[in-house]
Amino acid sequence: MTRRVVVTGQGCVSPLGNDIPSLWRALASGTCAIAPLAHPEAHFVKGVKTFAPIAPFDPEAHFAPRHLMQLDPVAQVAMLAARQAVAQAGLKEAPVPAHRIGVIIGSSIGGKTTDDENARRFWFGVAGDRTVTTNPMGIPRVMASSATSHVGMDLGFTGPSFATSTACSTANHAIGLAYWLVRAGIMDAAVTGGADICNTLSVLKGWESLRVLSPDLCRPFCAERRGLVLGEGAGVVVIETLDGALARGATPLAEIRGFGMTADAGDITKPSVDGTSGAITAALQDGGLAADEIDYVNAHGTGTRANDETETAALRKALGAHAEKVSISSTKSMLGHALGAAGALELIATIGALREGLVPPTVNFGTPSPECDLDYTPNEARKRPVAAALSNSFAFGGLNAVLALARFD
């Protein structure tokens, strides 16, 4: 018998607030966190005009000084989000053995803040001295799996634990694989999601060179779209078996119904209609869902020419005529593109839509685009019942991951 899997806890550190109620209120009201880039060396990245930074927090209020020395900011935000999710789920007090709880947290770029600091110290710390010592915790801090390890140690969970790193699909891959492992009985619960901190000079310079960034706002799916805007943060959820959640009195927030993933095996940056639509179809099939059961899609929706046109075509191919009846939105228009955290923050938005019967908007939407001709919920949230939904993530390298969810009554 297939085990049903539900979400029982959520946590976040995001550009729209560092807790779930703040994030959801902002999304529902169409608040945009994108602002002019604030970086002490912004003059070195003239091609990066805007950014969506996380809401401020004081690390020393959450971590002891000795512990803080071990933590890159990406691990800090993952731990804060995980603590929130576990507290809401009541998982630490639950009668679930620690070895049956896994931790799967993804990061696209890992500890880039530490990486930049070490490089700066090596090249510029002492003029001409290449023997200068860098941070002795540098390697543990920059590891892509650092967030997973620190979350596991912080919470004491010893089940199957690892990191994913698949660019923009990172969090969806983490959550989807955790879902499959819980459903298969490999573990009974998981703390899973994604985290990335992107406001470092090397990351900004890299994206500047790629020339896909908007000079102002993120405007997915409309004729005025000019590129993506970087964001950052962390999103973490607790998932567990439905039977286990009900037995201990936990409140299911939503049910994960299916997960699908594909690879384009084509271009490193250009998306494929076949690959992206294939992941959508795979998620529906995995969850036993028909296309006409989907009410809402949280789109990948980056605001680039190629992505938005391709995603529209993929939705039409996977959902058929029903694509005309689905409400779609890109919350990246408000949060920016948080890379490895994007899918997790978007899953949280999707759960909000399921629970509240409210579709968050695609803000900054101007003139409709002829090649993007579906309903993108422009500028204002919309009340409508949402019984089932998809959350799409499509990454550079053609790595696609889609989660299918259902409202839990």
The vertex-232 CA angle with 228 and 237, nearest 5°, equals 115
> How many other C-beta atoms lie within 10 A of the C-beta of residue 282?
20
Catalytic residue at 218?
no
DSSP 337: B
Half-sphere exposure of 352 (CA within 13 A, CB side): 27
Which entry of 173, 198, 300, 372 is annotated as an active-site residue?
300
Among residues 173, 222, 337, 372, which one is catalytic?
A: 337
Strand partners, 400: 262, 394
Cα separation, 264 vs 278, whole angstroms: 9
List the structure tokens of 248.
Answer: 């201990």
Instruction: List the structure tokens of 380.
Output: 């204002």
Active-site option among 32, 168, 218, 222: 168
Task: Match 């706002």 to its residue by tokens.
Answer: 217
Token code pair at residue 121: 């110290």
Rounded to the nearest 10 degrees, how much is the dihedral formed by the CA atoms of 309, 315, 316, 318? 140
CB 18 within 8 A of CB 57: yes
Please state, in angstroms and rounded to a whole number, the distance separating the CA atoms of residues 78 and 402: 22
Q: Please state, in angstroms and rounded to a whole number, the distance separating the CA atoms of residues 326 and 391.
A: 13
* Residue 330 to residue 4: CA distance in whole angstroms: 28
Residue 403 burial (10 A CB sphere; 0-12, 13-18, 19+): buried
Residues involved in catalysis: 168, 300, 337
